[in-house]
């Protein structure tokens, strides 16, 4: 059985529709959902083992999407922006993202990029920032999020987190893995993020 990529986009869209939030509604309404598919080779990552637990944690509204991710994980083109040299092997083995649509994702969209981020338990994703505005919706709870000069705050599944252009932000997982849905808009969608004085190319 081959993966039905239309189903990936439909379930991603349907999951976004479950959040009763003005910022998310506005973002979803501005997205042109009739996107051409982009043929990408499968690219699995070590972090995908976290999906077995993430399926158990995801809220009901996100479960069809998360089950698709878990079942078809080996067919999808997962990405990493960092290498072991940046944050070490533990981070790299517990980190990855899937661009559902955007300038590089499974569907072509030059205005908005969106997808899903995975982090394993007990991982610190250090402070970074980028020009694009970013909306995050965690689909698992318990991760601590920091923005600007603020401290870490634990966020539950379904909370909407907005990182405005160039604001510094970081995440720290607890005993459970994180799956978070993201939307990037209003900036270069595969541009450089700045991390502790260095730059890397790509989403986060």
Binding site for Fe ion (CB under 5 A): 134, 204
- For residues 140 and 176, give the distance between their C-alpha atoms in angstroms, rounded to a whole number: 8
* Closest approach of Fe ion to the CB of residue 31, in Å: 19
* Closest approach of Fe ion to the CB of residue 199, in Å: 14
Q: Could you tell me whether strands 153-155 and 78-79 are parallel, antiparallel, or unpaired per DSSP bridges? A: unpaired
For Fe ion, which is the closer residue by CB, 99 or 134? 134
> Are 171 and 122 spatial neighbours (Cβ–Cβ below 8 Å)?
no
In a 10 Å sphere around its CB, with 0-12 CB exposed, 13-18 middle and 19+ buried, how is residue 36 labelled?
exposed
For Fe ion, which is the closer residue by CB, 67 or 133? 133
For Fe ion, which is the closer residue by CB, 57 or 191? 191
User: Six-digit token pair at 125?
Assistant: 């994703």
* Closest approach of Fe ion to the CB of residue 132, in Å: 8
* Closest approach of Fe ion to the CB of residue 201, in Å: 14
CA-based angle 15:203:73, to the nearest 5?
A: 55
For Fe ion, which is the closer residue by CB, 37 or 191? 191
- Torsion angle of alpha carbons 112, 70, 200, 192, nearest 10°? 0
* Closest approach of Fe ion to the CB of residue 87, in Å: 15
Q: Which residues, at least 6 apart from 114, have a Cβ–Cβ distance to it below 8 Å? A: 12, 31, 99, 100, 101, 102, 105, 181, 182, 183, 184
For Fe ion, which is the closer residue by CB, 72 or 146? 146
* Closest approach of Fe ion to the CB of residue 204, in Å: 5
- For residues 77 and 102, give the distance between their C-alpha atoms in angstroms, rounded to a whole number: 13
For Fe ion, which is the closer residue by CB, 75 or 134? 134
Q: Is 74 helix (H, G, I), strand (E, B) or coil?
A: helix
């Amino acid at each position: 059985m081959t993966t039905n990529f239309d189903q990936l986009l439909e379930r991603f869209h349907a999951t976004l529709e479950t959040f009763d939030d003005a910022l998310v509604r506005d973002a979803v309404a501005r997205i042109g959902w009739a996107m051409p598919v982009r043929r990408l080779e499968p690219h699995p990552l070590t972090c995908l083992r976290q999906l077995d637990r993430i399926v158990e944690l995801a809220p009901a509204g996100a479960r069809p999407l998360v089950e698709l991710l878990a079942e078809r994980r080996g067919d999808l083109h997962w990405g990493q922006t960092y290498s072991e040299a940046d944050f070490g092997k533990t981070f790299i083995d517990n980190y990855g993202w899937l661009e559902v649509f955007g300038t590089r994702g499974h569907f072509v969209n030059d205005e908005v990029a969106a997808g899903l981020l995975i982090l394993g338990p007990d991982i610190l994703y250090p402070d970074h920032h980028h020009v694009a505005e970013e909306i995050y919706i965690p689909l698992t709870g318990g991760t601590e999020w920091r923005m600007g000069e603020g401290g870490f705050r634990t966020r539950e599944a379904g909370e909407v987190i907005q990182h405005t252009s160039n604001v510094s932000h970081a995440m720290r997982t607890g005993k459970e893995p994180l799956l978070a849905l993201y939307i990037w808009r209003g900036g270069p969608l595969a541009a450089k993020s700045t991390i502790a004085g260095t730059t890397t190319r790509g989403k986060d």
